[in-house]
Amino acid sequence: PKVRPSQSRTRETTVILVTGANGQLGRRIVQHLIAREPSLLDGRLGVSVRDPAQATELASRGVIVRKADFDQPDAMATAFAGVRRLVLVSTDGPGAERSARHRRAINAALSAGVSHILYTSLLGADADRPTEPAAAHRETESALQHCGVAHTVLRNPLYADDLPRLAEPALAQGVWRLPAGDGRVSLVSRDELAQAIAAAALAPRLDKRVYELTGQAALSYADIAARIARVSGRPLTYEAVSAEAYSGSLEARGTPARLVATLVELLTSVATSRLATTCNDFAALVGHPPKSLDCLIHEYFAPRSPA
Ligand SMILES: NC(=O)c1ccc[n+]([C@@H]2O[C@H](COP(=O)([O-])OP(=O)(O)OC[C@H]3O[C@@H](n4cnc5c(N)ncnc54)[C@H](OP(=O)(O)O)[C@@H]3O)[C@@H](O)[C@H]2O)c1
Q: Which pLDDT tens digit goes with each residue over 131-158?
A: 778 899 999 999 999 999 999 999 999 9
Measured CA to CA, the distance from residue 99 to residue 105 in angstroms comes to 10
For residue 209, the tally of other CB atoms under 10 A from its CB is 12
Residue 304: predicted pLDDT: 83
| Ligand 1 touching residue 159 (CB < 6 A) | yes
Residue 91 Cα to ligand 1 middle (Å)? 4
| Ligand 1 touching residue 20 (CB < 6 A) | yes
Query: How do residues 106-133 score in pLDDT, each as one tens digit?
Result: 999 999 999 999 999 999 998 887 777 8
Q: For residue 20, which atom of ligand 1 is closest to its CA?
A: 43
Q: Whose CA is nearest to atom 1 of ligand 1?
A: 158
Superfamily, domain 5-156: NAD(P)-binding Rossmann-like Domain (3.40.50.720)
Residue 24 Cα to ligand 1 middle (Å)? 7
- Fold of the domain built from segment(s) 158-188+215-276+292-307: UDP-galactose 4-epimerase; domain 1 (3.90.25)
Query: Would you list the domain boundaries of the chain?
Result: 5-156, 158-188+215-276+292-307
For residue 147, the tally of other CB atoms under 10 A from its CB is 15
pLDDT band at 14 (very low <50, low <70, confident <90, very high): low
Measured CA to CA, the distance from residue 137 to residue 141 in angstroms comes to 6
Cα 71 from chain centre:
20
| Ligand 1 touching residue 22 (CB < 6 A) | yes
pLDDT band at 237 (very low <50, low <70, confident <90, very high): very high
Measured CA to CA, the distance from residue 213 to residue 230 in angstroms comes to 27
| Ligand 1 touching residue 101 (CB < 6 A) | yes
Mean per-residue pLDDT for 286-300?
A: 97
Q: Whose CA is nearest to atom 37 of ligand 1?
A: 20
Classify strands 150-156 and 116-122 as parallel, antiparallel or unpaired.
parallel
Mean per-residue pLDDT for 88-102?
A: 91
Residue 109: predicted pLDDT: 95
